[in-house]
Structure 1
Amino acid sequence: MNPRLAQLQPYPFQRLRALLAGVTPPADKPHINLSIGEPKHPTPELVEQALIANLAGLSQYPATLGSEALRQACAAWMRRRYDLDLDAQSEILPVNGSREALFAFVQTVIDASGAQTPIVISPNPFYQIYEGAALLAGAEPYYVNCLAEQRFQPDWSQVPEAVWQRTQLVIVCSPGNPTGAVMSLADWETLFQLSDRYGFVIASDECYSEIHFGRPPLGGLEAARKLGRGFERLVMFTSLSKRSNVPGMRSGFVAGDAALLAKFLLYRTYHGSAMSLTVQAASVAAWNDEDHVESNRAQYIAKFDAVTPRLAMGLEVRRPDAGFYLWAKVPNGNDVDFAKALFAEEHVTVLPGSYLARDAHGVNPGAAYVRVALVATLEECVAGVERIVAFVERQTS
């Protein structure tokens, strides 16, 4: 067996199940699950129709590069969304969702053949795929804490010179999971300057970019162009899962540095990760339509408007820059005890923030927070938050 598998830590939801095992919540209160970031809004009809109309694609092997139609649809979306003209042949690569692509990209980039173990830097808290991908590629994860006093952005000045010297890849997430923080142009400029100095690749996870409150988040490639740069050592990852409520379709794309994508395509050709032609056709329909995205966004805005002020009466919380999570600070500072007691008394599930982070530099930056995913219906989200506030009031009275 691959000995690196032993380095992997339990996934957050595995830890959550273990935490709540044996706890008996009140039977008279229906369960409200606000822990997992799985979109619950209906899949757009146009996507369903495109899937049904293209079932013949199931009888064919797809090309790893994807169809011309899909790559052109992705390029057209990048033009509309970011005012970027990308080469659909060399600067865009369809993938089976951003999760799969992020993992595979790390395996492509990392060179562990040298005398020193390479480093992959990620924000902390973080999406657990970043860590697992780094470990299985033979790299050492290095965590940069994202604290409230830093706008929940990584403080790159805290990274030692010796770490930068070994860094081959920096992963960023904007809008961030779980904090919802968005990188500014100045944030990007700092990171680009570091990449120029040390030569590392930047992987920008932007799968939450279309869940916002009227101000579209700045993207990594967009920032590079605004700063007069090309896309050297820079790729972005995006997905239809959140944008179009199709997490089960596993569809997204990677864009950016053509030289990196050529190597990534080679890896993926051997990896056997081509997207079904049926899913490709449905993806074209999704990328070509914005009406359903605006409707989806409006539903999230309505939920944030309804629940954020109410939740702020019990927990320290604010509306994020983007995304569909609330990153709420708990009164007693113990996120794990809070989540367990909340489930036991109110039958509401939230995710302890410490499960999304690692102890680093003397602190676990998620330890005093819980992540609340506003993916359920408006009514369920309101009811869930009412129960949370009632629970907090009892705990603090």
Structure 2
Amino acid sequence: MTFPKRFSNLPEYAFPRLRRLLDCHGPGGAPLRMSIGEPQHAFPPWVAGIIAEHAQEFGKYPPNDGTPELLSAISDWIARRYRVIVEPDSRISVLNGTREGLFNAALALCPEEKAGHRPVVLTPNPFYQVYSVAALAVAADPVYVPATAETGFLPDYGALAPDLLDRVAIAYLCSPSNPQGAVADKGYWADLLRLAEKHDFQVFADECYSEVYRDDPPAGALEVADEIGADPERVLVFHSLSKRSNLPGLRSGFCAGGPQSMSRIRQLRAYAGAPMPLPLQRVAEKVWADEAHVEENRRLYRRKYEIADEILGDVPGYRPPEAGFFLWLPVEDGEAAALETWRMTGVRVLPGAYLSREVAGENPGKGYIRVAMVAPEQELRHGLTRLRGCLFG
């Protein structure tokens, strides 16, 4: 058989790669997984009751675009959180988690050609791996832009050459960023949106970690677009309940943007998207409307920031994350550090290079490990202490 060549150079996904690195070695202590960002805090206690109450609706085909109640709940949340009015019937699409949307939005919206050439998709480096796969799927050229300490761990898209920017169709940005926990402020968003206006591309704002933060709520792309009067079609935002509400298995998210973009995304989902089951949509309706559990979740993560600062604060190069629940720790070699930590302590972390691409001989994640702070408090303290003793003395 003949298979498409565009995926031939796709690297192995991070977690199978990590298993291949570590699983042939025994752990040096009781295993503690700090490699994957799977929230462990309790989700709202009433979730199971809502599913049971609406269980008979598993026998119905759910609306592909989302129930009117769910779309309204999301619209209301956007208005409370960002003070922006987004019409639920024309500017929001329900998703089965944001990964689906971040991928399918590129299929729906990326043109076949830009400025007489193959289109370009910009992505931070390191990055969430679906961005580059989406670029390859639409036959675009992915361009990996360093997001390093020198750039505040956010990509400097404005420093790219004008002729390259003219070819850009989509620019992905994650804020708060995964893996570094950096936050794009209003000035950064405004500059990016103006750059998108100048060179006629769309911004895909991955804001999945927006509700887990240390101090002030991170600014949002829709909020800034509204403030500066940007074209509503210029930006799409992506959110989910996975981190905000500790419900990664619910697979409930949304994207919001201009009506033309949403129309195209909804049309694609009518053919290629799996509707979210009705009982789960009923849960999502209630979860988006409730903030009490989100505030409690944020309190728990703030305590974890304090623990990380206490244990690692004097490590050279340690940078307290502004938001999210990852530590991005500098080491000499991330892969060697992950293997040593596993073999000596049983703590499982992710090499930063597994989240990055090598460009011009440099991989910006090679000198880092990513540590997920999702474990219960005492377990987290124990894991970070073991990690500190193993790698930093």
The two structures have a TM-score, normalised by structure 1, of 0.95
What letter matches 1:84 in structure 2? V
Instruction: Report deviation, 1:230.
Output: 4.2
User: What residue number does 1:122 align with?
Assistant: 123
Instruction: Report deviation, 1:315.
Output: 5.3
Instruction: Report deviation, 1:362.
Output: 4.5
Consecutive unaligned residues of structure 2, counting only runs of 5 or more, are: none
Cα–Cα, structure 1 residues 275 and 163, in superposed 2: closer, same or farther, change >3 Å?
same
What letter matches 2:358 in structure 1? D
* 1:301-353 alpha-carbon deviations (Å, 9 max, x no partner): 111111222123445322211100111111xx211111111111011011111
1:126-137 aligned at under 5 Å gives the runs 126-137=127-138
1:239-318 aligned at under 5 Å gives the runs 239-314=240-315, 316-318=317-319
User: How many matched pairs?
Assistant: 390
- Please provide the CA RMSD for this pair: 1.5
Write the distance in 2 (CA, Å) between the matches of 1:230 and 1:305.
40
Indicate conservation of the 8 Å contact 1:335/1:367, yes or no: yes
Residues 1:17 and 2:16 aligned together:
no
User: What residue number does 1:198 align with?
Assistant: 199
What letter matches 1:165 in structure 2? D
Instruction: Report deviation, 1:165.
Output: 2.0
Indicate conservation of the 8 Å contact 2:222/2:237, yes or no: yes
User: What residue number does 1:8 align with?
Assistant: 10
Instruction: Report deviation, 1:112.
Output: 2.5
Instruction: Report deviation, 1:128.
Output: 0.3
User: What residue number does 2:230 align with?
Assistant: 229
Q: Which of 304-313 and 319-328 deviates more?
A: 304-313
Indicate conservation of the 8 Å contact 2:341/2:387, yes or no: yes
Indicate conservation of the 8 Å contact 2:180/2:326, yes or no: yes
Q: Which of 44-53 and 264-273 deviates more?
A: 44-53
User: What residue number does 1:62 align with?
Assistant: 62
Aligned-pair identity (%): 38
Write the distance in 2 (CA, Å) between the matches of 1:264 and 1:228.
23
Residues 1:37 and 2:72 aligned together:
no
User: What residue number does 2:98 align with?
Assistant: 98
Write the distance in 2 (CA, Å) between the matches of 1:329 and 1:309.
17
1:40-51 aligned at under 5 Å gives the runs 40-51=40-51
Q: Secondary structure at the match of 1:64?
A: coil
Indicate conservation of the 8 Å contact 2:207/2:237, yes or no: yes
Write the distance in 1 (CA, Å) between the matches of 2:13 and 2:392.
31
User: What residue number does 2:333 align with?
Assistant: 334
Instruction: Report deviation, 1:372.
Output: 0.7
What letter matches 2:347 in structure 1? V
Q: Secondary structure at the match of 1:45?
A: coil
Q: Secondary structure at the match of 1:7?
A: coil
Q: Secondary structure at the match of 2:204?
A: strand
Q: Secondary structure at the match of 2:254?
A: strand
Indicate conservation of the 8 Å contact 2:337/2:391, yes or no: no
Stretches of 4+ aligned residues off by more than 3 angstroms? none
Instruction: Report deviation, 1:66.
Output: 0.8
Write the distance in 2 (CA, Å) between the matches of 1:7 and 1:262.
33
Indicate conservation of the 8 Å contact 1:315/1:328, yes or no: no
* 1:10-66 alpha-carbon deviations (Å, 9 max, x no partner): 11111111111321222xx21111110111112211222211211122111112111
Write the distance in 1 (CA, Å) between the matches of 2:322 and 2:259.
30
What letter matches 1:32 in structure 2? L
Instruction: Report deviation, 1:227.
Output: 2.0
Indicate conservation of the 8 Å contact 1:7/1:135, yes or no: no
What letter matches 1:298 in structure 2? R
Instruction: Report deviation, 1:380.
Output: 1.1
The two structures have a TM-score, normalised by structure 2, of 0.96
What letter matches 1:16 in structure 2? L
User: What residue number does 2:351 align with?
Assistant: 352
Indicate conservation of the 8 Å contact 2:102/2:238, yes or no: yes
